[in-house]
Amino acid sequence: MGEKTISRNKVLGIAGLGWMFDAMDVGMLSFIIAALKVDWGLTPQQMGWIGSINSIGMAVGAFVFGIWADRIGRKNIFIITLVLFSLASGLSAFATTLSIFLILRIFVGMGLGGELPVASTLVSEIVPAKDRGRIVVLLESFWAVGWLIAALISYFVIPAFGWRIALLLSALPALYAIYLRLNLPDSPAFSPKKSEKRTVLQNIKDVWSKEHARSTFVLWTVWFTVVFSYYGMFLWLPSVMVMKGFNLIQSFEYVVIMTLAQLPGYFTAAWFIERIGRKFVLVTYLLGTAASAFVFGTAESTALLIGSGILLSFFNLGAWGALYAYSPEQYPAVIRGTGTGMAASVGRIGGILGPLLVGSLVSAGYSIGFIFSIFCGSIIIGVLAVAFVGHETRQIELA
């Protein structure tokens, strides 16, 4: 299995395609929530639950599949998660009630949550140390492409043909990614012999052993604060724009413009991450996110709203790229899938709470400015953890 080699660009392309389809689905969900509100007459709490239930699935998927990636290999989990995600996403196009839609979203989330940390682990183990951070951030940049396609599908397809067709469109191309992945070799760091000697419980315990506790504390804190704020803000973007007085089509247009800013966010982070380091990128880009979130929440004019929304996308997604590069570098190969998966899973708990918090605070009459200030504060906590407790892992050879 480990005999087969693959070029750096090919592994980036194959992993990136799956990542792109995942992003398409998450990106479209924010527009579908806005469309379902009209179709099914949803309350703000029900809208919040759609985003949160996705994250419940992602939390379970990141935890379970992260652990299994250390048992049965990165490649196998990579394929299983994509199949699960595609099938559930396609089936959710036929949902007739909110309950059925929510159940299918749990399975979509499980596939999605399991795939992302395992993909970044696999890529970081195949790519040499000098390029590793840059390539993992570039892998993350496929997320922006997926979001952009999602925004375009939502803009052109949802108003004309409805949200069901949009969901079917997002599930179909994933079949191509599954076909590509069958030719992918497994990670050279994964050893079936070593994995058989270790129990799942031992792997989980080792993540919090004396040797790794500091890294785990930093990762869990940053993952929680970043995912809590990201899903709280971005899943509600189209709806927040509507609340600020724009119609649905206008809000889709503005979100497309904001999404475009994600790409330079990734590319600049990819450039800095190998030249200055992981901690620099995480701290700088998270501070940029916090400042942009505060301005976006309190913006009154259209120009300030779009300007701060663009900066929010730029900084937030650059930070995400750095986080995916940084996480697998904290652990040795035998617990790398488990450690990265568990950190992502803790993050997803933040992703459950973020959208629910927005829904309940909007219902209680709190301003968008107040809500976005909460996200601003949470990101600052993540910044402090990385800056004062985190290790720098630039150019370190993976064990």
Alpha helical stretches, state H, 172-261: 174-181, 192-197, 200-207, 213-234, 237-243, 248-260
Residue 360: C-alpha distances to residues 27, 46, 51, 106, 310 (Å): 22, 10, 13, 21, 26
Closest to 261 in 3D by CA, of 325, 207, 316, 217: 316
- In this structure, what DSSP letter does residue 235 have? T
Return the pLDDT at 206.
Answer: 96
Contact indicator for 76, 126 with CB cutoff of 8 Å:
no
- Beta-carbon contacts of 183 under 8 Å, excluding residues fewer than 6 positions away, are 14
Tell me, what amino acid is at 30?
S
- In this structure, what DSSP letter does residue 76 have? H
d(CA 311, CA 326): 22
Closest to 332 in 3D by CA, of 185, 193, 200, 215: 215
d(CA 291, CA 314): 12
Return the pLDDT at 23.
Answer: 86
Closest to 269 in 3D by CA, of 324, 199, 346: 324
Q: What is the DSSP string of 154-195?
A: HHHTHHHH-HHHHHHHHHTTHHHHHHHHTTPPPPTT--HHHH
Q: What is the 3-state secondary structure (H, E, C) of 264-311?
A: HHHHHHHHHHHHCCHHHHHHHHHHHHHHHHHHHHHCCCHHHHHHHHHH
Structure tokens belonging to residue 100: 């059925």
Return the pLDDT at 48.
Answer: 78
- In this structure, what DSSP letter does residue 211 have? T
Length of the chain equals 399
Q: Angle, nearest 10°, between helix axes 333-363 and 213-234?
A: 40
Residue 347: C-alpha distances to residues 56, 224, 363 (Å): 10, 4, 25
d(CA 246, CA 230): 22
Q: What is the 3-state secondary structure (H, E, C) of 39-75?
A: HHCCCHHHHHHHHHHHHHHHHHHHHHHHHHHHHHCHH
| 109: enclosing H helix or E strand | helix 98-126
d(CA 94, CA 133): 40
- CATH 3.90.740.10 given to domain 8-183+200-389: no
Q: What number of CA atoms fall less than 13 Å from residue 116's CA on the CB side?
A: 35
d(CA 79, CA 82): 5
Grouping H, G, I as helix, E, B as strand and the rest as coil, residue 2 is coil
- Backbone φ and ψ for 390, nearest 5 degrees, come out as -70, 150
Segment-wise mean pLDDT, segments of 10 residues, the chain, 399 residues:
66 87 84 88 85 88 95 89 89 94 95 91 89 91 88 86 89 75 80 79 95 97 95 80 76 79 92 94 97 90 88 93 94 94 94 87 90 95 96 79
> In angstroms, how far is CA 164 from the centroid of its own chain?
23
Contact indicator for 76, 348 with CB cutoff of 8 Å:
no
